[in-house]
Structure 1
Amino acid sequence: MAINRNELERLAAKLLDGTITSEEQEQLNHWINTQLPKDNSNAPLFKQIDLARKKRDMLKNILMKIEEDDQPVKTKRGQLYRFLKYSAAVAVILFIGFISQQNLFMPKQAERIAIHNIIELEADTVFSGGNSPTLTLGDGQVIQLSGKQAGIIQKNGHLTYTNGESAVNLQAGLDANVNAMLTLSTGAGGTYQLILPDGSKVWLNAKSTIRFPSKFSAHERKVYITGEAFFEVVKNTNQPFRVNSKDYQVEVLGTSFNMSSYNNDKEDHTTLLEGLVRIKSEPQQAKTAVLLRPGEQASISAERVAKRAVDVSPFVAWKEGLFYFDGASPQTAMKQLARWYDLDVSFSGNLSNISFFGMIDRKKSLGSIIRILEKSGVKFRLQQIDGRKVLKVISD
């Protein structure tokens, strides 16, 4: 028969203080065996009780009673009765926890310990991610370009490799439509060159994209980039060249400049080598325009556009196949390594006073790079965690 709320509490209390009778024990055992799996009508009762305290106290009492009764018994019947007695008490406790708060003894989702597959890696075996450029056509078709080639040339509806070999025929209607956009992309550890129909040249750094029309309009030459690119633009005052990225635009007239605009960077940078560029941005409140001259760099963020004089060499060294660290912070330097060697980076310790210096060939292994950087007082550890390479930067 079912036991009501008051009766269940009374029997549980008597069970714990040792005053329960054989008849009451039999009644409680019968309820546990027959009603426990299907009767949760007492759930509201247990939700109102301080479950953690009650279970702790009950378990403590049970353990104490077991220790007190842990003496030789004369009959097997006595052993069996004591086993059933304390088993019933534990069953009541577990049932209370189950119907009210099933996960009370389990860690919450955020507290659960993640189990990862971790493998130690040898940094000397890690080289650049490999050159794997792709071209996406206006209809969404993705074409894998040859990574052995230096780049592609767009002219008269055709794309050829820089050595003259045919790459892609765009004449299937794409070149006739000025709005048909093409997208050239590079992966980790690769660079690629694009020569546009007007003769302007673009070099893409690793993990970068450039979107460009199959044919420029008569009034302007407009492209879009994400990541980093170096431009050598053919001058044409009647057809200005504009580069768009995020919420700003770089307008150029016969210019060589580098533009870095990765999505995970807080600031973008445009660095001018030759000519003249105008940067137009639209922050939240006001339009801003900054004019750059050779040797100047614009830093663009959501709040402002600011310019300063710089040594341009560190910002264009990638085009020559070099890492160039001239007082770079660990965070700035590691972003370059992450994009080149296709890895994630984590930091530990105080790195605020650490700066990296050096000019290093990007063809070298990761191990060769970090041995040079370790002279700055940091340590590195390379692991593979759940299939991804992770470089740990450690400072004491």
Structure 2
Amino acid sequence: MLCVFTLKYSSVETNKSKIDQLLQKYQEGNCSLEEIEWLQQALSTTDTSEQDAIDQALVASLLRPSSVGKMEESRLKIILETIKKQIQQGKEDNDNLLEKGGEDRMPIQKKTIISMRWPYWAAAACLLLFVFSVIFWQQQTSHTLADRNLAGLEDTKDDAVQPGGNSATLRLADGTVLELDKQASGIVMGENITYENGQSIADALSKQGQQMDPSKAMLELTTPIGGMYQITLPDGTKVWLNAASSLKYPMAFAKNERKVILLGEAFFEVTKDSSRPFKIHSKGQEIEVLGTTFNVNAYPENTAIKTTLITGKIKLSNDNRASQAIYLQPGQQSTNTNNGNIQVANVDTAPFTAWKDGLFYFDETPVSDALQQIGRWYNVEVRYKGEVPQTHFYGRIKRNKSLRDVLDVLEEGGLHFELSKGQEKNILLVTPLQ
């Protein structure tokens, strides 16, 4: 409901209270256009005797942190600081005039003060109205802006740019491929395979296990582009599989070791078993643990494997190079390049594990890395007009947002995006803003 104010307020405290109330209402994102216009009128026509009191209400309100989030915070701060400087400059000019004048010139000074105070109040009011109006306009036209920023979006289907979700296939030991339920988030290995709610998936597994050594009966869980899934392995180890990834594992682990093969990205929460080390092979790298939590990013198109340790301890080496094994401590990340060199660094682990909790987490992330994540999750092919921009992204975005919403945020980093249809998949064209 829009409230229109038609009453005039005469007292200083009433005006101060009313302006402060409306500014607070704006902070909460509930200020209507009519209320914004009333503010502009009140600020530009306030009597000189009331202005000092109104100054305090205005400045105090402007310096509150914005909670509406409708405009980029850095831009809003710049505008608010400009308003504050305008107000402060006006006060200083008036104070200087008073200090220079004598008692015999008081009538002239008073007249001058009134005429001099108007410019900074006018500037403050206009700037304030600009801030309010832009944000109000953004509230009303956010969908229009998103459509304009994605020039080719009208040529694609809405479901083509929706976020990914639970999706995977399971290849059994005999080659049978099962499409897993998208309404479920994961599967549990046992005598049979079940979803997390206990619903059976494949009773035939028990028969397969009777026909061969279960430690050699290999299964493969695979997620498509735009999919993720969880699995609880036979020993109780939990694995979160990111988009475009696969995990090969046996129906039952051997007595002396637990071994899996990873392609892509996964987060592991390994059940502790000191008698059977848990080993992950991926792109020529072997990780050995007894019980710990960590993330492995080993996509085939990447030039390096990144292993990020959260808790416990990791032994990491390249295949057939056990003498060059290294150990990671919590909070460390190894970068294993294609030439076999392994470097270790201390990192904030959150950006590398946030995906399993439903977040894009960018912390000085190169644009190419960020858009690679987005391309996998939204099933789009990323192309660049010219060279790859040398910019970085910061911040967190929920992975359940539509592609429009995500790109609208990323455009604040100085990029422009166009989405169009390709022969096999949608194409996201990235262009630096001029």
TM-score range (shorter-chain normalised) is: 0.5 to 0.7
Match of 1:265 among 302, 306, 310: 302
Answering whether residue 394 of structure 2 is matched by residue 360 of structure 1, we say no
123-132 or 218-227, which deviates more = 123-132
Compute the displacement of 1:286 (Å).
8.9
Structure 1 moving runs of 4+ over 4 Å: none
Where do 5+ consecutive residues of structure 1 fail to align? 1-118
Compute the displacement of 1:131 (Å).
3.3
State the secondary structure of the residue aligned to 1:172.
helix
Whether the aligned pair in 2 keeps the contact of 1:130 and 1:188 (CA below 8 Å) is no
Whether the aligned pair in 1 keeps the contact of 2:165 and 2:228 (CA below 8 Å) is no
Q: Which has the larger radius of gyration?
A: 1
Residue of structure 2 equivalent to 1:308: 345
TM-score (norm 1): 0.67
Q: Distance in 1 between matches of 2:189 and 2:322?
A: 38
Change (3 A) 1:385 1:366: same
Q: Distance in 2 between matches of 1:164 and 1:363?
A: 26
Q: Distance in 1 between matches of 2:358 and 2:223?
A: 15
Compute the displacement of 1:189 (Å).
1.7
State the secondary structure of the residue aligned to 1:382.
strand
Answering whether residue 204 of structure 2 is matched by residue 172 of structure 1, we say no
Residue of structure 1 equivalent to 2:194: 160
Match of 1:218 among 255, 263, 279: 255
Answering whether residue 162 of structure 2 is matched by residue 120 of structure 1, we say no
Compute the displacement of 1:370 (Å).
0.7
322-331 or 121-130, which deviates more = 121-130
Deviation per residue, 1:65-98 (Å, 9 max, x gap): xxxxxxxxxxxxxxxxxxxxxxxxxxxxxxxxxx
Compute the displacement of 1:350 (Å).
4.8
Specify the code of the residue in structure 2 equivalent to 1:241. F
Structure with the higher helix share, 1 or 2: 2
| Residues 249-288 of structure 1 mapped to structure 2, 5 A cutoff | 249-282=286-319, 288=324
Q: Distance in 1 between matches of 2:424 and 2:322?
A: 45
Match of 1:133 among 168, 181, 190: 168
State the secondary structure of the residue aligned to 2:166.
coil
Match of 1:205 among 242, 264, 272: 242
State the secondary structure of the residue aligned to 2:325.
strand
State the secondary structure of the residue aligned to 1:167.
strand
Whether the aligned pair in 2 keeps the contact of 1:234 and 1:254 (CA below 8 Å) is yes
Q: Distance in 2 between matches of 1:302 and 1:187?
A: 25
Whether the aligned pair in 2 keeps the contact of 1:131 and 1:147 (CA below 8 Å) is yes
Q: Distance in 1 between matches of 2:390 and 2:351?
A: 20
Residue of structure 2 equivalent to 1:298: 334
TM-score (norm 2): 0.61
Compute the displacement of 1:197 (Å).
1.4
| Residues 23-38 of structure 1 mapped to structure 2, 5 A cutoff | none
Match of 1:151 among 170, 180, 186: 186
Compute the displacement of 1:322 (Å).
0.4
Change (3 A) 1:147 1:298: same
328-337 or 122-131, which deviates more = 122-131
Figure out how many residues of one structure are paired with residues of the other and give that number: 276
Q: Distance in 2 between matches of 1:311 and 1:222?
A: 28
Whether the aligned pair in 2 keeps the contact of 1:138 and 1:174 (CA below 8 Å) is no
Deviation per residue, 1:279-338 (Å, 9 max, x gap): 11148x995211000000001112211110000000000010000111111110111011
Compute the displacement of 1:174 (Å).
2.9
Q: Distance in 2 between matches of 1:269 and 1:353?
A: 21
Q: Distance in 1 between matches of 2:381 and 2:356?
A: 23
| Residues 85-100 of structure 1 mapped to structure 2, 5 A cutoff | none
Answering whether residue 361 of structure 2 is matched by residue 329 of structure 1, we say no
Residue of structure 2 equivalent to 1:342: 379
Compute the displacement of 1:198 (Å).
1.0
Whether the aligned pair in 2 keeps the contact of 1:131 and 1:188 (CA below 8 Å) is no
Whether the aligned pair in 2 keeps the contact of 1:182 and 1:211 (CA below 8 Å) is yes
Compute the displacement of 1:124 (Å).
9.8
Whether the aligned pair in 1 keeps the contact of 2:333 and 2:344 (CA below 8 Å) is yes
Compute the displacement of 1:349 (Å).
3.7
Residue of structure 1 equivalent to 2:357: 320
